[in-house]
Amino acid sequence: MKTIFDQKIKEALIERIEKINETDQAQWGKMNVYQMVRHNTYWNGWILGQDKHSYTQSFMGKLFGKRVLKNMVKDEKPLDKNIPTSVQFKVKEISGDLDTEKAKWISLIKAFDNYDNPDFVHDFFGKMTKEQIGILAYKHTDHHLRQFGA
């Protein structure tokens, strides 16, 4: 199973991030390339426990989260196109310094080397094991890189 905690997987993701440029167009979804990269820097910071993020599970997540998570991490199947984004992860700014955001995203990917966030609770899936977090972080990153052809 591919995981963000595997060094070779992490290196491959970083190579893909480095290829992103301002002319890349989304193959699905509503985000532009800057918003996608910014979304990922925010999302990874949340997973890693950086900044002051909220760690509460939604009501719908409490009902369905564990079942959905189990299906999501059971195999190599990539995340589906157009899956919904939680409100807290929607980026309103339509432009910014793409290279700075890419560098930040890459540093966050590297920060998974020292992952330690025992307080992490996913807003839909709830409490997750480190193994589940590693698979989800890989799949989330891969999903958005595929979204922009990287």
pLDDT tens digits, 109-127: 999 999 999 989 999 999 9
122: tokens are 């996913």
Q: How far apart are CA 1 and CA 33, in angstroms?
A: 28
143 pLDDT band (50/70/90 cuts)? very high
In the chain, domain spans: 7-147
CATH class belonging to 7-147: mainly alpha
C-alpha distance from residue 127 to each of 62, 76, 77, 107, 118 (Å): 10, 21, 22, 25, 9
pLDDT > 90? residue 14: yes
pTM: 0.93
